[in-house]
């Protein structure tokens, strides 16, 4: 399709200085951030993605004098496979002076305990020393590690780390989990019995915490078929000395219809908890004496999110009984101090609108990871004394080097509310095309792509993302949809997807696409849809049912829910019970909604991309849809990437995937010369499998996988923090 003005490039073909290589260099979100007291002052530790180092995550330290250094040598990767999506994979710990763990002779020395991706063992990196193991080696180093650790926590005053241990049997569903204590002296390497079990009894456990007086252990647990955003139990057990709980635990909050996603001790008798008994994840105070809990500063806002990765921290308790917490709705989020004495929330004067699930506080300061429409997610250090003053008193510790060559090519996003056929609201963030050298001519309508986040229990943040700018700077609009089922809008909005996955999400994305056309923003002949994982499912279900899109792009997407439910990993093995229905009773419903079963109804071509080591959504899912399109005589391209798992982490993969996606849009939008397409003929089925060699990926070690959010790339869900999911969507 030519431009409305002869001699000018059409939107979608505008030249842009933002290349795929720029996206790869800037890609990824900093992970778990923590303030670490040191003899010389307060240090800040966090982890960050390294696309140019094979996609590993490296823990770094910013010293009190501002010096930044890597805490992990080359070849080590702080990432956990807990639940396959990972979780908090490292913690600073204090080593006793001169002790067997290697403490400094002149006092406690902060050291790093972390899960190394390659064998999932716990390792200790003491200052100036090479990391050494704390747990036993896997019996079969060539296969999947049978034991994984995650959600690390350092209990004060104890020379051990507490965490979730996941023991994997012969099959992906033969999994046992427990909260365990691992000694820091390395004695469990040769004697695994030195790892003590603190709690078990649930299919899933998270958030182990020691009370300030050392007398109680708290944690969160839940069981199949519930997901952690459905219902969880907040448990407390008395501790009998240093060895473990004394007696049966008590459930002090939560339940089948109440989701507790984080809990921290306020004092020896009370817990802070984020829970949603009233339909919103609000902060609550939970007493140990059996009395009723109460909401603090209750409001129709979210103070938490979906617990895809154990270790998520939406708030941090303060020594004076208050808490610093992320709160808001949709893409409007803030960081504030919550005071139970007057139920107030006083926001910090920060120029950010999105905060990931990592908040920590110490010595009157808070650290978080935040982003905004004109700022990449970065580590931010804030002075809590700035609350209510209006003064800036904050510092961005990362992110400045990620600025593109010119702000004139960055989109100016805005939130919009559309309506579905029943008048229900559908939330979206719109990124109209923007280019410093080109603009739409009067009456000229650009192509748009509907972005579908993963999860599907996730959300779309509104923060600077060069992946989006890669398209918008070339004249392609992006609509990032928080369809029914998304987080950030309360439980009722989340549960619109209960039993309706493949229906409500498809309809909501179509409502946004049609709304763009009705508002005179988009060319109805040039609409596309794309997503990753669960978002890939929605994209392909839309292609085969909505009759609206010129094509669809799926990054490691689900295409056959029956097959996926039969062989996916344990954490999500019952997820579809709530999204579609329990099996075998709802098998017919699975068939009705399967994109593979309806590939012959596709309204345009598909581009499918998949990592060959994906254990969350196996590459067979994309292969099945490609084969179904080929059997129907419809066009499809399948690209497969060795060494990649559930998301793109290597820079070469990110570059290849983005360039392939751009070429696909230009083809389906008529921006390249293709005689078959220009004449309206359907080209013969095309299925190409690409196995590009990745020069930036280290050969000797197995590459990284993954939800969650993040891996490298748009965090999805969650931006969810730390290690996971990767480019293209979540989970």
pLDDT tens digits for range 72-119: 999 999 999 999 999 999 999 988 665 544 444 445 668 999 999 999
In terms of Cα–Cα distance, which of 355, 356, 354, 381 is closest to 367?
381
* Residue predicted with more confidence, 688 or 364: 364
Measuring CA to CA, which residue among 253, 260, 266 is closest to residue 338?
A: 266
Instruction: Tell me how far CA of residue 680 lies from CA of 490, 527, 674, 676, in angstroms.
Output: 45, 17, 10, 6
- 186-199 pLDDT, tens per residue? 999 999 999 999 99
Q: Give the angle subtended at the CA of 356 by the CAs of 324 and 501, to the nearest 5°.
A: 125
**Per-residue pLDDT averaged across 120-145, rounded?**
85
240-244, 489-493, 619-623, 725-729: least confidently modelled range: 725-729
The three-point CA angle 561-567-568 to 5° equals 80
The percent of residues in the chain predicted with pLDDT above 70, rounded, is: 85
**Cα angle value 360/101/163 (rounded, 5°):** 45
- Band of residue 205 on the pLDDT scale cut at 50, 70, 90: very high
* CA 393 – CA 381 distance, rounded (Å): 9
pLDDT at 519 over 50: yes
Of the pLDDT bands very low, low, confident and very high (cuts 50, 70, 90), residue 401 is very low
pLDDT bracket for residue 145 (50, 70, 90): confident
What is the mean pLDDT of the segment spanning 357-367? 96
What is the pTM (predicted TM-score) of this model?
0.89
How far apart are alpha carbons 730 and 706 in whole angstroms?
A: 9
Summarize the confidence of residues 483-488 as an average pLDDT. Answer: 97
Closest CA to 322 of 336, 334, 337: 337
Task: Check if the beta carbon of residue 692 is closer than 8 Å to that of residue 652.
Answer: yes
- pLDDT category at 242 given cuts 50, 70, 90 is low
Contact indicator for 328, 334 with CB cutoff of 8 Å: yes
Question: CA triplet 313, 136, 235: central angle to 5 degrees?
Answer: 35
Q: Tell me the pLDDT band of 2, cut-offs 50, 70 and 90.
A: low
Residue 727 has pLDDT above 60, yes or no: no
pLDDT of residue 104: 46
Backbone φ and ψ for 540, nearest 5 degrees, come out as: -75, -35
| pLDDT at residue 235, rounded to an integer | 97
Cα–Cα nearest to 634, from 590, 657, 681, 600: 600
Where is pLDDT greater, at 25 or 100?
Answer: 25
What is the rounded distance in angstroms from the CA atom of residue 533 to the CA atom of residue 536?
5
When the pLDDT of each residue in the chain is averaged and rounded to a whole number, the result is 87
34-38, 139-143, 184-188, 511-515: least confident range: 139-143
Whether 71 has a pLDDT exceeding 70, the answer reads yes
The pLDDT score that the predictor gives to residue 168 is: 86
Average pLDDT over residues 344-355: 95
Is there a contact between 95 and 108 (Cβ–Cβ < 8 Å)?
yes
For range 661-679, the mean pLDDT = 75
Give residue 716's pLDDT: 31
Q: Residue 551: how many CB atoms within 10 A of its CB?
A: 25
Q: Tell me the CB-side half-sphere exposure of residue 30, using CA atoms within 13 A.
A: 28
pLDDT classification of 406: cutoffs 50, 70, 90: low
Q: Which one is predicted more confidently, 346 or 95? A: 346
Q: How far apart are the first and last CA of the chain?
A: 36
Kindly give the residue spans of alpha helices, DSSP state H, lying in 487-533: 491-494, 504-518
**What are 245-255's pLDDT values in tens digits?**
777 899 999 99
pLDDT band at 399 (very low <50, low <70, confident <90, very high): confident
Between 18-27, 144-153, 291-300, 558-567, the lowest mean confidence (pLDDT) is in 18-27
């Amino acid at each position: 399709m030519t431009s409305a003005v002869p001699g000018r490039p059409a939107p979608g073909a505008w030249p842009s200085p933002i290349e795929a290589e720029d996206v790869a260099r800037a890609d990824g979100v900093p992970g778990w951030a923590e303030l670490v007291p040191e003899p010389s002052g307060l240090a800040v530790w966090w982890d960050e993605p390294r696309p140019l180092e094979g996609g590993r995550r490296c823990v770094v330290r910013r010293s009190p004098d501002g010096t930044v250094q890597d805490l992990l040598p080359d070849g080590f990767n702080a990432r956990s496979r807990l639940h396959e999506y990972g979780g908090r994979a490292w913690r600073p710990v204090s080593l006793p002076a001169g002790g067997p763990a290697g403490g400094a002779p002149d006092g406690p020395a902060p050291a790093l305990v972390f899960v190394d991706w390659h064998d999932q063992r716990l390792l200790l990196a003491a200052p100036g020393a090479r990391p050494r193991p704390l747990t036993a080696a896997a019996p079969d180093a060539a296969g999947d590690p049978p034991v994984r650790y995650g959600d690390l926590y350092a209990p004060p005053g104890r020379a051990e780390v507490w965490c979730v241990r996941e023991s994997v049997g012969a099959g992906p569903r033969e999994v046992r989990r427990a909260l365990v204590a691992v000694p820091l002296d390395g004695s469990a390497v040769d004697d695994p019995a030195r790892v003590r079990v603190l709690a078990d009894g649930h299919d899933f456990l998270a958030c182990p915490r020691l009370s300030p007086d050392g007398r109680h252990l708290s944690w969160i647990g839940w069981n199949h078929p519930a997901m952690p955003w459905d219902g969880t139990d907040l448990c407390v057990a008395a501790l009998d000395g240093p060895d473990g709980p004394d007696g049966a635990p008590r459930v002090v909050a939560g339940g089948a219809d109440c989701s507790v996603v984080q809990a921290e001790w306020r004092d020896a008798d009370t817990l802070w908890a984020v829970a949603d008994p009233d339909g919103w994840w609000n902060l609550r105070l939970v007493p140990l004496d059996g009395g009723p809990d109460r909401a603090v500063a209750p409001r129709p806002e979210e103070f938490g999110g979906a617990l895809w990765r154990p270790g998520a921290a939406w708030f941090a308790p303060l020594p004076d009984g208050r808490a610093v917490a992320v709160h808001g709705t949709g893409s409007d989020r803030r960081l504030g101090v919550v005071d139970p004495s007057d139920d107030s929330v006083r926001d910090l004067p920060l120029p950010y609108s999105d905060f990931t699930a990592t908040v920590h506080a110490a010595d009157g300061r808070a650290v978080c990871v935040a982003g905004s429409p004109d700022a990449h997610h970065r580590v931010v250090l804030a002075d809590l004394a700035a609350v209510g003053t209006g003064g800036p008193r904050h510092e961005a510790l990362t992110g400045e080097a990620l600025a593109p060559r010119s702000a004139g090519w960055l989109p100016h996003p805005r939130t919009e509310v559309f309506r579905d056929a029943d008048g229900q609201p559908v939330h979206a963030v719109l990124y109209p095309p923007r280019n410093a050298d080109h603009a739409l001519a009067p009456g000229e309508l650009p192509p748009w792509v509907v972005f579908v986040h993963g999860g599907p229990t996730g959300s779309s943040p509104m923060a600077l993302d060069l992946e989006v700018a890669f398209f918008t700077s070339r004249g392609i609009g992006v609509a990032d949809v928080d369809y029914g089922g998304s987080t950030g809008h309360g439980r009722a909005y989340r549960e619109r997807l209960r039993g309706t996955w493949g229906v409500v999400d498809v309809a909501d994305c179509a409502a946004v696409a049609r709304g763009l056309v009705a508002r005179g923003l988009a060319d109805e002949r040039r609409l596309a849809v794309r997503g990753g994982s669960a978002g890939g499912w929605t994209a392909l279900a839309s292609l085969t049912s909505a009759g609206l899109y010129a094509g669809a792009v799926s990054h490691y997407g689900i295409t056959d829910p029956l097959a996926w439910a039969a062989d996916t990993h344990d954490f999500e093995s019952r997820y579809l019970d709530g999204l579609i229905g329990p099996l075998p009773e709802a098998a017919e419903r699975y068939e009705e909604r399967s994109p593979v079963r309806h590939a012959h109804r596709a309204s345009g071509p598909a581009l499918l991309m998949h990592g060959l080591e994906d254990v969350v959504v196996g590459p067979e899912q994309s292969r099945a849809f490609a084969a179904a399109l080929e059997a129907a005589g419809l066009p499809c391209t399948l690209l497969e990437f060795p060494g990649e798992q559930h998301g793109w982490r290597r820079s070469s993969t990110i570059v290849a995937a983005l360039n392939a996606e751009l070429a696909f849009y230009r083809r389906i939008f008529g921006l390249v010369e293709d005689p078959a397409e220009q004449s309206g003929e359907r080209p013969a089925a095309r299925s190409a499998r690409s196995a590009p060699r990745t020069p930036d990926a280290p050969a000797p070690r197995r590459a990284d996988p993954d939800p969650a959010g993040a891996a490298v790339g748009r965090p999805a869900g969650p931006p969810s923090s730390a290690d996971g999911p990767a480019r293209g969507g979540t989970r």
